[in-house]
Amino acid sequence: MSATISTDLIRGHTDTVILNILRQGDSYGYEIYKRILQLSGNRYELKEATLYTAFRRLEKDGDITSYWGDETQGGRRKYYRITAQGQEHYAQNVRDWDFAKDILETLIKGGIGDDQD
Amino acid sequence: MSATISTDLIRGHTDTVILNILRQGDSYGYEIYKRILQLSGNRYELKEATLYTAFRRLEKDGDITSYWGDETQGGRRKYYRITAQGQEHYAQNVRDWDFAKDILETLIKGGIGDDQD
DNA sequence: CCCAATTACCTTGACAGACACAGTAATGTT
DNA sequence: AACATTACTGTGTCTGTCAAGGTAATTGGG
């Protein structure tokens, strides 16, 4: 892996990243893990512990549901599906991110004369 | 305050925000607190506990130094000054943010056909 | 002149998200 | 047979943020 993203820069975005992948169709843990690596060009690895912790959280909150795949042979797979509520939360999270991004830019790079409102 | 930024979206950026303000000149806690409110257009309030925690961390790490103001009368003020190392860390943090931002955009909004590398 | 608001600093304890580490179990490859 | 890979799970730890609490001086309004 080349340069990587620090933990704290991704923090709080994990759920949104997972919901975004599930918007494109049901998937399971290991596939999502691989997909995130691929989408980030090997620059961000969402650790498995973090991923499965997020699944519990999202399912408890009603943003996703899960079901076991019917692989009669081969490793069992637990599939996750985004719910209508999850779709709404995803959309809200994206709005929050777009909103926060601009303010962060100002706070991080802004200086004299950049006052708001 | 109108809409606000969630804690987790700002997490990990606190030090960078403080360093950015100190790049523009020495300052003290309460002034920095107010400045962040102002720069964000009242959309983000860095809590005092967080601010003073960050001062300890930054000073311990050598990114800032502190000295008491010489207000002979009036409330004492503890001023903070960014060090050369702090300047370097600030620059690196900004690079990290620019880098992470693009990847985050992809992970949050990207879909099929957005593969990297 | 008193009282409330503001300025200014600080500490402690708790919480939540991310992850290191450890484990289980099946399949595929050599 | 041995090893890598796929696939899922639990436990305990670390770190940044913040709620809640505290101290003390100054300023402005009634």
pLDDT 10s digits, B41-84? 999 999 999 999 999 999 999 999 999 987 665 568 999 999 99
Q: Is the dihedral of CA B8, B9, B12, B13 positive or negative?
A: negative
User: Does pLDDT of A48 surpass 90?
Assistant: yes
Render pLDDT for A68-109 as a digit per residue (tens, 0 to 9).
887 665 567 899 999 999 999 999 999 999 999 999 999 999
The Å distance, CA of B30 to C1' of D27, is 17
Q: Enter the pTM of the model.
A: 0.88
Q: How many CB atoms are located within 10 Å of the residue B61 CB? A: 13
Task: For residue B76, give every residue at least 6 positions away whose Cβ sits within 8 Å of its Cβ, in sequence order, or none.
Answer: B68, B69
Binding-face residues of A in 12-71 toward B, CB within 8 A: 12-13, 16-17, 20, 23-24, 36, 38-44
Q: Please name the residue whose C-alpha is nearest to the C1' of nucleotide D27.
A: B74
Render pLDDT for A9-28 as a digit per residue (tens, 0 to 9).
889 899 999 999 999 999 99
In angstroms, the CA B78 to CA B73 distance is: 14
